[in-house]
Amino acid sequence: MENQVNSKNFMINNGIILGVASVLFLLVMYATGNHLSPHWSASIINAIIFIGVIIYGIKQFKAANNNFLSWGQGVKIGVGVAIVGGLIVVVYNYLFMNFIEPDFMNQMMEIQNQTFLDQGLTEEQIEAANAMTSTFSSPGIMAAVGIISYAIGGFIIAAIAAAIMKKSEEENY
């Protein structure tokens, strides 16, 4: 199969769309005061953005590639889109937690502690949970987890979408 289409452009362009759309959604959540304890619908909206942009990127590539798409190409595009979008969100989260809302982690810790108290955990258990949480709240670990999460999510969505949308030249005959 001759492939003249550069997949990198589709990954970067749609990854930027994913990242910007995700950041805009996070900014709306912050502006409306829903960033500390969001409604369950926020997760649904975020998932729709994530899934929609990845599928859109794969469809764009397929259309530009004479309507042909291998499973591998679809997965590559989807994971690429997710990683670029994830990088943008990680940069935003770093700026948010260090400049926009430097007290964000403390506020989240207070909400978490109240939830633990409501569940009947002891002070020792809460302190142990806080120690564990603070271990994983360093910027480097949070960035790595964010990018890995986006990559895994992108792989799952892209694998399913590419399996559904795949079409080879052999299938055309």
What's the sign of the alpha-carbon dihedral 83, 84, 89, 92? positive
Residue 34 contacts residue 99 (beta carbons within 8 Å): no
Tell me the C-alpha distance between 111 and 106, whole Å.
9
Q: Is residue 62 part of a domain?
A: yes
Two tokens at 71?
């499973």
Look at the chain and report how many structural domains it folds into.
Answer: 1
pLDDT at 173: 55
Q: Is residue 2 part of a domain?
A: no
Two tokens at 170?
């052999």
End-to-end CA distance of the chain: 14
Tell me the C-alpha distance between 167 and 74, whole Å.
10
pLDDT at 172: 60
Q: Is residue 19 part of a domain?
A: yes
Per-residue pLDDT tens digits for 93-136: 999 999 999 999 899 999 999 999 999 999 999 999 898 888 88
User: What DSSP assignment string belongs to 94-155?
Assistant: HHIIIII-TTHHHHHHHHHHHHHHHTT--HHHHHHHHHHHHHTTSHHHHHHHHHHHHHHHHH
pLDDT at 139: 87
3-state secondary structure (DSSP) of residue 88? helix
Tell me the C-alpha distance between 28 and 34, whole Å.
8
Q: Is residue 1 part of a domain?
A: no
Q: Is residue 90 part of a domain?
A: yes
Q: Is residue 83 part of a domain?
A: yes
H or E element, residue 75: helix 71-95
Q: Is residue 125 part of a domain?
A: yes
Residue 67 belongs to what domain range? 7-172
Divide the 173 residues of the chain into consecutive groups of 10 and give the mean pLDDT of each group: 78 98 97 93 97 98 95 97 98 95 91 92 91 85 95 98 90 61
Closest of 152, 25, 19, 26 to residue 97, by C-alpha: 26
pLDDT at 1: 44
Q: Is residue 29 part of a domain?
A: yes
Tell me the C-alpha distance between 142 and 146, whole Å.
6
pLDDT at 171: 67
pLDDT at 82: 98
